[in-house]
């Protein structure tokens, strides 16, 4: 008996961002400390976020929450193009 296996090498694997979910969750949970910025490699922006949170007595922590939500609502390709490859630090 001859067993034939058909493999389709032309199928495209869906694009999956490696940092999107982690950065989004960090932004929502502890974004007030700028941890999501440090995770994405934006050291200067992370320090600014941390200082702004302390100077404004926590009011600036809403920025981390908003950014976390924005990260999670973008498509994987758009997230990588904007924040990983494009190095956009804020929103």
Q: 0.85 cut: is pTM over it?
A: no
Cα–Cα distances in angstroms (integers) from residue 41 to residues 45, 51, 75, 88, in the given order: 9, 17, 20, 11
**Segments making up each domain of the chain, as ranges:** 20-85
Q: What's the alpha-carbon Rg for the chain, to the nearest Å?
A: 19
Q: Tell me what pLDDT residue 81 has.
A: 92
pLDDT the model gives residue 4: 54
Measure the CA dihedral 43/85/53/44, to 10°.
30
pLDDT of res. 10: 62
Which residue stretches of the chain have pLDDT < 70?
Answer: 1-11, 13
Residue-level pLDDT at 35: 95
DSSP 32: G
Cβ distance 78 to 52 under 8 Å? no
Per-residue b/e over 18-38, b at no fewer than 16 CB within 10 Å? ebbeebbbbbbeebbbbbbbb
């Amino acid at each position: 008996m001859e067993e034939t296996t058909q493999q389709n090498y032309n199928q495209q694997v869906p694009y999956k961002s490696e940092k999107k979910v982690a950065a989004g969750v960090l932004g929502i949970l502890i974004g007030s400390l700028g941890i999501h910025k440090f995770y994405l490699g934006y050291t200067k922006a992370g320090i600014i976020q941390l200082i702004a949170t302390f100077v404004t007595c926590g009011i600036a922590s809403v920025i981390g929450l908003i950014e976390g939500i924005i990260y999670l609502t973008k498509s994987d390709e758009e997230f990588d193009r904007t924040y990983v490859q494009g190095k956009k630090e804020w929103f």
